Amino acid sequence: MDSQARVGSIEALEGFRAALIRYTERARRALDDVTGEVKRTRGWLEVEQRQKWEGEFRRRARMLEQAEQELYSARMSSLTNDKTAQQMAVNKARRALAEAEEKLAVLKRWRQTFDARIEVLAKQLEALHETLSRQMPKGVVSLTNSIRLLQDYAEVHVPREVTGGGETTTEETSEPS
């Protein structure tokens, strides 16, 4: 057996190390983007949309109350016999209020569904974040050390040609450690 290591290309290892560093940085940025989108979506559901539809519900409830008041006033007044316009306004306001109630119910279901679905994925993202933050840097350091050791080994065991008495032989140079 040959006792000498055969290192084909330290440059290939250096290229792989550089690619690993680039991959780690890109993956970290992508993970940060995904995490940010999840937070923004949760905030949109829990804050923006909830506030919007709660406000709409209150506004539409006031509109219904006003329409009912106008219908009541029209019934009490003997001046107008035709109360269909007021009744239509009440019906329209009731439909609008029912729509706002439905939107709030849908929003509540979305928030629950979002949290249930994201929880599983968030755990997977945490595992990926752990790998990118702790394991990949350790791998880069290990690869760097291996490259340095291989470079040192290659420098110490450089074959050189020795000629003596017409014969050419190859000897290894070993420097004392």
pLDDT per residue as tens digits for the range 25-67 = 999 999 999 989 989 999 999 999 999 999 999 999 999 999 9
pLDDT beyond 90 at 175:
no
> What digits encode the pLDDT tens for the residues 129-150?
999 999 999 999 999 998 898 8
Which residue has tokens 């679905």? 117
Q: What does the alpha-carbon distance between residue 121 and residue 25 come to, in Å, rounded to a whole number?
A: 21
Q: Which of 89, 48, 50, 46 is nearest to 67 (CA)?
A: 89
pTM of the model: 0.61
Q: Which domain holds residue 87?
A: 10-172
Domain count, the chain: 1
In a domain, 2, yes or no: no
What is d(CA 95, CA 9) in angstroms, rounded to the nearest whole number? 75
